[in-house]
Chain A
């Protein structure tokens, strides 16, 4: 008998269910007084560096109906392209920007709004710069394993054209599913869970 690799298996995922708000955004669903505020509700303060942007995100099911019980988290670099994380070896990120936010979809409209800053460019593994992007993680009732994807920006056409992850998408017609449309000072981004416009989700 050969040796054992002695590895554990990752805990299997289970859906966040319809009451995810109780655990992750209790103030949002009327459970007051346990935490002073919901974690991840505010991403910037007046000393945060960078261009202020607003992301209007919706998550749509296979019939095109917005989910009203989903929860979206985002993770991004600061304006200089540095992550506020121990894994960031290239320098210290903006101390006034954690780079992580959390927002439940509105129970009436399905809209999820993040007020954040435009991230700088982060290098790919080989040193080429990726286009500015924000990582998304989506959970909800009916989603068995949290979905990872990215939001890129429509006004970064040149950078998007050089992005090594976007370049890996075989069916070019699907690239726009990862690009948020600029409308005034806001970016609008619809995540399609299914159908012709299904968003490109990641296994990384």
Chain B
């Protein structure tokens, strides 16, 4: 696919900044037991991005349904809505250069207000909410912005240590412009004391990196008498400037 007809803006096609693997959790984090047998142990093969990593699929706004970014209603019976604290989650997808990433597909999923997932593997005794499915999606605008409406997920116990609890969180899957930017992460909520006790969170070594996954209450974006708001920005790998780049064949 080439640039939009009539546009003089060259699509960006540079390689991405290398990933700082000391900032991400390492593959093996023994406090999170599932990582023990699922973590590669040999050295990774490092190489500069080829076109296979630089390129990536594009998803158009046309694929979105009207309620895709409204988890309060997208699984609810007509006239009903999900139970829980009504919240708006909004923010921007940026790259490491601070540039908004337009057209990024975000998919999110979460437990209901009681901390229960609509999944046959989840046996937590908190009840399912018949009006809550737990999934939604959005595509960022020109400036990288997105927003969705949901209920605040509850914390829940999980089988790891004898008494481990996940902090309230929302899972995010993000597509940028290149497949090398592909990322899955989790958003936590400001002030939750469970964040600092969680073996999954604690796989991240740097406190600043954990704070980067913690959304702030944003009273400016609140809808009075309706919903609180949290702001959560997501940062994807930045693209190198291709000004002095070795040229790809045919480029």
Instruction: Please list the residues of chain A having a beta carbon within 8 angstroms of any beta carbon in chain B.
Output: 6-24, 26, 29-31, 33-36, 39, 61-63, 67, 69, 73, 75, 77, 83-90, 92-93, 98-100, 122-127, 130, 133, 135, 137, 139-148, 150, 165, 168-169, 174, 193-194, 198-204
Contact = CB atoms under 8 A, between A and B. Distances in A.
Contacts of A165: 45, 47, 50
A204 B180 contact: yes
A23 B234 CA distance: 17
Q: Which of B48, B55, B237 has the most CB of A within 10 A?
A: B55
Nearest to B95: A8
26 contacts: A7-B97, A9-B209, A13-B184, A14-B25, A14-B184, A14-B186, A19-B109, A34-B67, A34-B133, A34-B136, A35-B68, A73-B182, A75-B179, A85-B55, A86-B12, A87-B12, A87-B178, A90-B251, A98-B57, A130-B50, A135-B179, A150-B52, A174-B42, A199-B40, A200-B45, A204-B50
Interface stretch (B80-88, B112-120, B216-224): B112-120
Interface of B, helix, strand, loop or mixed by DSSP: loop
Contacts of A8: 94-98, 235, 238
Interface in B1-56: 1-3, 11-13, 18-21, 23-27, 29, 32-42, 44-56
A133 B179 CA distance: 14
Contacts of A144: 24-27, 29, 32, 35, 39, 203
A142 B133 CA distance: 24
Given A16-B184, A19-B117, A86-B13, 6 more contacts: A15-B34, A22-B119, A34-B68, A84-B1, A123-B248, A146-B182
Contact of A85 (B33, B56, B65): B56
B94 A34 contact: no
A126 B47 CA distance: 13
A193 B41 CA distance: 8
A14 B26 CA distance: 10
Contact of A19 (B75, B108, B119, B184): B119
A17 B47 contact: no
Contacts of B171: 14, 16-17, 19-20, 23
A40 to B, nearest CB: 9
Given A7-B238, A14-B186, A201 B44 contact: yes
A203 B12 CA distance: 21
A174 B44 CA distance: 12
B185 interface: yes
Given A122-B50, A144-B26, A169 B45 contact: yes
B104 interface: no
B241 interface: no
A10 B27 contact: no
B122 interface: yes
Interface string B155-193: 000000000000000010100011110111110000000
A89 B248 contact: yes
Contacts of B54: 87
A84 B52 CA distance: 11
B150 to A, nearest CB: 12
B235 to A, nearest CB: 5
Contacts of B33: 142
A194 B135 contact: no
A77 B51 CA distance: 10
Tell me which of A6, A86, A87, A135 has the highest count of chain B C-beta atoms within 10 A of its own C-beta: A87
B119 A88 contact: no
Contacts of B136: 34
B219 to A, nearest CB: 24
B138 interface: no
Top 8 A-B residue pairs of the complex, sorted by shortest distance between their CB atoms: A23-B109, A142-B34, A142-B38, A85-B55, A127-B249, A123-B249, A62-B37, A203-B44
A85 B23 contact: no
A86 B3 contact: yes
A174 B55 CA distance: 27
B52 A143 contact: no
Contact of A24 (B13, B68, B173, B246): B173
A15 B134 CA distance: 17
